[in-house]
Amino acid sequence: MRVLTLGATGFLSGAVVREAAARGHEVVGLSRTPGDLPPGVTPLHADRDDVDALRAAVTGLGAPPDAVVDTCGYTVAGARAAAAVLADVPAYAYVSSVSAYRDWPPGPVRSEADPTFGPDADVQEYGPMKAESERVLTAALGDRVLLARAGLIVGPGDRTRRLTSWVHRFATQARVAVPAVDVPVAFVDVRDLAGWLLDMVERPIAGAGGAVTATGPAGMTTFHGMLDACRAAVEATGGRPGETVPVPDAALLAAGVEPWRDLPFWLPEETARTAWDVATDRARELGLPTRPVEESVLDAWRWVLATGLEHPDLDPRLDPAALAG
Ligand SMILES: NC(=O)c1ccc[n+]([C@@H]2O[C@H](COP(=O)([O-])OP(=O)(O)OC[C@H]3O[C@@H](n4cnc5c(N)ncnc54)[C@H](OP(=O)(O)O)[C@@H]3O)[C@@H](O)[C@H]2O)c1
């Protein structure tokens, strides 16, 4: 089938394009600027936030797409443009976010029926923008749109360094400060999400559309399980991982370590217990797979080593010796 991807050369979009091409689809990948695409994929350049530019690009294709996978919805204008130009496609997968839920964080998220941000919220903000974009696309496409509310996406190609900064610490430090409290955490591997988005648009989407919280099952691993996977990735690539030094939340906070920003995935225990408590029953029913976290971490680290993606030096506040003092 003819698959149009909005976004083509980035993290999730790149994984969607590669998988769609590997499945033998006729793929058109839209981005504003040229980038690496697999052989056989047709590049298309336009700003999808600009309705006229998007219309001209899509019209220029001749035949309309059978399916759209939209990974680069970062404005409500972009959703409106897609709604105006692509409302007739038989299947449309829009990548939204768990941030669309009004009460997350701190959560928990009990089901897709939990409230999302309303139309009065500031759509310049990420969560309200995703919620409003969902409404715009649903008004145009009805039950032909899938709203995939993605959780944390991990795996090869991730330039955020959120996960790989942990691996980098174990690869480069003899002793690594880690939060002492262990809590369940969950992610979605970029390849699992990309493949599933395609699974969803390859069949009639009606009945399986609407909102789906698209991440791994709560408790698929724990924070410390993820850290073990980081140490294992260092070993598997010929390094000697640093030793973990558990540090209580209070000591991290007293040192001015900012949750999440300074230590990705770390939230103080009280927030962590609800923020990671995100129900994904519908995603499981609809077949979103979950590969082992060890595989996601190892492949993400191999990608870092292959590409030379740099990571910053250790923040002195995270030096285990300083934290112990
Ligand atoms: N990363 C996470 O953990 C996470 C979590 C929850 C939800 N999400 C959602 O997941 C989706 C994918 O995130 P990602 O970081 O992997 O992004 P991505 O899919 O890699 O998006 C970037 C791609 O989109 C293109 N693009 C961006 N803006 C465009 C525009 N206005 N017009 C045309 N093309 C445009 C970029 O190329 P050009 O720059 O050349 O245009 C690039 O090809 C996003 O919708 C994000 O909100 C991500």
User: 32-71 pLDDT, tens per residue?
Assistant: 999 999 999 999 999 999 999 999 999 999 899 999 999 9
150 pocket-lining for ligand 1 (C-beta < 6 Å): yes
Residue 125 confidence (pLDDT): 98
DSSP three-state, residue 89: coil
Cα–Cα distance for residue pair 82/94, rounded to 1 Å: 10
Residue 322 in this model has a pLDDT that exceeds 90: no
CB-ligand 1 contact for 262 (6 Å cutoff): no
| Averaged pLDDT of the chain | 96
Phi-psi region of 107 (alpha: psi -120 to 50; beta: other; left: phi over 0): left
Are 201 and 167 in contact by the 8 Å Cβ rule? The answer is: no
Residue range 253-282: mean pLDDT, rounded: 94
Does residue 95 line the site of ligand 1, with CB under 6 A?
yes
| DSSP code at position 160 | T
φ, ψ (nearest 5 deg) of residue 18: -60, -45
Cα–Cα distance, 292 to 19 (Å, whole number): 19
Q: Where are the domains of the chain?
A: 2-153+188-214, 156-186+219-277+291-324
CB of 241 sitting under 6 A from ligand 1: no
Q: CB of 47 closer than 6 A to ligand 1?
A: yes
**Whether residue 193 has its Cβ less than 6 Å from ligand 1:** no
Pocket lining: 73 vs ligand 1, CB cutoff 6 Å = yes
Give the model's pLDDT for residue 170.
98
Establish whether residue 278 lines the binding site of ligand 1, counting it when its CB lies within 6 angstroms of any ligand atom. no
| Ligand 1 site-directed mutation target among 4, 9, 33, 72, most atoms within 8 Å of CB | 72
The alpha carbon of 31 and the centre of ligand 1 are apart by a number of angstroms equal to 9
- Token pair 């499981």 is found at 284
Residue with CA closest to ligand 1 atom 22: 10
**CA distance linking residue 3 with residue 9, whole number of Å:** 15
- Beta carbon of 8 within 6 Å of any ligand 1 atom: yes
Q: What is the pLDDT of residues 44-54, one digit of tens each?
A: 999 999 999 99
Which of 16, 31, 215, 260 has most ligand 1 atoms within 8 Å of CB, for mutation?
Answer: 31
For the CA of 45, the closest atom of ligand 1 is: 33
| 178-198 tens-digit pLDDT | 999 999 999 999 999 999 999
pLDDT over threshold 70, residue 275: yes
Distance of CA 95 from the midpoint of ligand 1 (Å) = 9
Q: What is the pLDDT of residues 196-224, one digit of tens each?
A: 999 999 988 877 899 999 999 998 999 99
Closest by Cα among 289, 278, 173 to 227: 173
Distance from the CA of 126 to the center of ligand 1, in angstroms? 13
Tens-place pLDDT, residues 64-122 = 999 999 999 999 999 999 999 999 999 999 999 999 999 999 999 999 999 999 999 99
pLDDT band at 4 (very low <50, low <70, confident <90, very high): very high
* Number of Cβ atoms within 10 Å of the Cβ of 321: 9
pLDDT of 325: 64
Separation of CA 14 and ligand 1 centre (Å): 9
Decide whether any atom of ligand 1 lies within 6 Å of the 288 Cβ.
no
What average pLDDT does this structure show over 17-37? 98
Residues 218/276, Cβ–Cβ less than 8 Å? yes
Does the Cβ of 186 fall within 6 Å of ligand 1? no
User: Structure pTM?
Assistant: 0.98
Domain 2-153+188-214 has CATH 3.40.50.11540: no
Q: Whose CA is nearest to atom 23 of ligand 1?
A: 7
Q: What's the gap in Å between 13 CA and the centre of ligand 1?
A: 7
CA distance 298 to 166: 12
